[in-house]
Amino acid sequence: MMKGEEITMINSLDLPSLLPEFLPFWESVGRSRLSFPRCTECGEFHWYPMVRCPHCQSSAVEWSDVEPEGELYSYTKVCHPFGDKLKEKVPYFVALVTFAGAPGIRLVTNLVEVDEDKLRIGMPVKAVFSGADGENASIAFRPLVGS
């Protein structure tokens, strides 16, 4: 994984407002890891986190680390600020990224270090983490070097 330039989230995280089952993802990001909920009964991942596995209704759900490299499933350049706070942020890239190690999950994330003309669906991307813990934890993805 990558600790490159400082990246910050487009909107700041408000951790206390989040449901408890949503926190482990951001705790992992604070440790520069990517993890998703996985059922130990049926072995399936699911996303977003639910209190029970939606595939078999088991409550034996654990968080499992996943290699933070994936594939670009789709993307958009957001040009319109949806809310006043985003006026200074546009334009920015939002992407859906899929992971070989977590079938069925598409992560909503941002793309950084982007050469717009070279973006293509299916290209490999790699996570960029920054910030240590809690509110400052952040994650984005950048095209994999050499691709």
33 vs 55, beta carbon nearer Zn ion: 55
147 binds Zn ion (CB under 5 A): no
> x/- string (CB under 8 A) for another protein, residues 102-121?
--xxxxxxx----------x
Interatomic CA distance for residues 42 and 142, integer angstroms: 32
R_g (Cα) of the chain, nearest Å:
16
Residue 132 corresponds to which tokens in the numbers above?
């240590």
Q: Which of Zn ion, another protein, none does 63 bind, CB closer than 5 to 8 A by kind?
A: none
- Site size for another protein, by CB under 8 A? 39
Amino acid, res. 65: D
Interatomic CA distance for residues 5 and 144, integer angstroms: 15
Interatomic CA distance for residues 31 and 27, integer angstroms: 7
Q: Which of another protein, Zn ion, none does 40 bind, CB closer than 5 to 8 A by kind?
A: none
Spatial contact of 77 and 91, defined as CB atoms under 8 Å apart: yes
Among 21, 41, 65, 71, binds Zn ion (CB under 5 A): 41
User: Which residues form the interface with another protein (CB under 8 A)?
Assistant: 9-14, 17-19, 22, 25-26, 47-49, 54, 73-80, 82-83, 86, 89, 92, 94, 96, 104-110, 121
